[in-house]
Structure 1
Amino acid sequence: MGDVAVGPAPLAAATRLRRHRLILGGLALVVAVVALAGLGLGQVPIPPAEIIAMLLGGTPADPTHGAVLFAIRLPRVVLGLLVGAGLAVAGAAFQGLFRNPLADPGILGVSSGGTLGAVGFIVLGPALGVDFAGIHALPLAAFVGALGATVLVARVAALAGGSTAALLLAGVAIAALASAGTGFLVFLGDDQQLRALVFWTMGSLSAAPLEAIAFALPALLAPVILLPWLARALDAMLLGEREAQHLGLNVTVLKRIVVVVTSVGVGAAVALAGVIGFIGLMAPHLARMALGPGHRLLLPAAGLIGAALVLAADIFARLAVAPAELPVGIVTGCMGGPFFLWLLVRRHARRA
């Protein structure tokens, strides 16, 4: 028998598969390198070999290094990984659900609601005899605020017909109301409270110990673990709601699942790290440029890119004005603005 000829289609598919694996593997390597840099860089530099040895149970060469690694840097790197991946995956899912490249986790008012919950607890807590310094109380207030905004958005959207457009418009309106409420509470706050409010309005990875992260871990992991199972449904949504329904997709159920899962994840992220903007917008676009629009690859790639972006922003925030520290949200905002200007120019050049 002669050799079986291999046509161009299988060869192209195999080449594409190898390329996708290389890209995902490269992104995972980038995340590992940036995480190692986040653990080692700072006022007390720690060599990479010593970091790896300590993480594997070895004794640090300097006791100070062990204290800095496990008490300060490891919690913020773990939180940065979880928050970055969760925001990016949520952003990619929202962009697919709404068929809108500008959709992000804050579009339904989740981030604004979480900020309102935290700021309200900080400003009004003392008048109610509540101390906002607790490890669980303040994040819980932010989480309740985020979920409250989600429930309100869903209720308003249902009264307006339940369409995707109604959900989007309801989210914009609730986000505006929550932002106005936050502004009013900031006006009422004293100097000490205003310093605490900077964390919630601009974002930081410095305030969450490992205990708080472990407590919120299921919520933080919800988008990363659950949304990839909806990849084919989100691909169908790219064709339009009516077309997706013709393919047998229950669009109403899909919207509910995506909104609930992303709201839980984003609410937990806001509760522990404050508002870190643009990650849910930038990471999906970068992933889409590398791997295309299919959500099976887009969601994990966006998660890896989001984790790397947040960790890189945190490293810059710690080193740029040391010994002080910039809010991470300022750094990601400086990254996001030029990125979308470049994206706008790039799209215009393609159409010309």
Structure 2
Amino acid sequence: MPQQKLLQPPMLLLAVGGFLAVATEVLPIGLLPLMAEDLGVTESSIGLLVSAYAAVVVFASIPLNAWTSALPRKPLLVGLLAGYGISNVVLCLAQDYSIALTGRVLAGACHALFFAVVFGYATRLAPPGRMGAAVALVNAGNAVAIAVGVPMSTWLGATVGWRWSFGCAAIIALLLAVGAAVVMPAIRGSAVSGGTQLKEALAEPALRRVIVAVVVMMTGQFALYTFITPVLLQSGFTATNVGFALLAYGGAGILGLLLCSRFTDTALRPALLLSLLVMTGCFLAIALLGGAPGWTLAVVIVWGLLYGPVPSYVTTAALSASRDHPDTVAAVHNSTFNIGISAGALVGAQMLLVSDPSGIGFAAAALTLVALAVVFTGARQGFPRKTPK
């Protein structure tokens, strides 16, 4: 298959697909009260729609990739995008909670396999020496979804009803499925069994180090980010302006990705170390600032700016650690990333039982410091001083 320039329709479609996947994941967060009232359940039950989605991703990513490793990639990608469309239609039309939960489980299953296929495509389509840039382009879609997905869904839900949020996502997904059928190049499935691919990938010490680093750093990141709203409220923000701070964080993340994505291919190790060091400082500052909204907002923006490129750094590190089976490595990375998200939410929840919301910053800083040590000691394996080409 001939190499593509980076900004070509196939790569742009993958980036928009990343936006769709992450937007689908976070849609219920901004629609909790509306969905709960309409479906006749509590807001915590609607929150479980997000948890169920994440649980499916954690447990299904690796086995689904193993079972589908021999399938051609193009029809599999088209099918996954269509699956997102169907799952969002189910949510749009759901008249009771059980139907809504079914739609979310289907969406989680699509997500579990989606990024394995997407990053597998990205590594094959990337120009020589530009794999990191290709990963960053896909992650740009993810970053935009995180920044605007919740505010957009909240506005749409309040304006025309929560079902239209899922309806719009379904339309985007189905259009992307048609687009993928037209523009994506054909890639054959692997002749090596999924189980063998997994065994060979996990035999790489470099990949094992990346896995440990990702789980620890994402646990730290999401211990605090999961509870960022109560942290901001404690610092002096109000219910009416806390959304501005969240939007500022998301916008800073996009800016950070745009500014720092160039380092993914040229200086991944020092760039990741710098991000983790600054994030550690930000978490400590949040824990110590207490009721200072102006300073807290400034710290949150710096945090978002430095975290923005981190998913691209660690995804590229994982794919570089075991290059023979990119789809399998991406599936493992997807699972471990979501393990970190779930563990972070658990750590943050436990910290809330014994401290004020800002106190979570101490735990987040400690975890991020451990992740920094794992990366720093990985100069030979996992996070080499010289970026692999």
TM-score normalised to structure 1 length: 0.41
TM-score normalised to structure 2 length: 0.38
Larger radius of gyration: 1
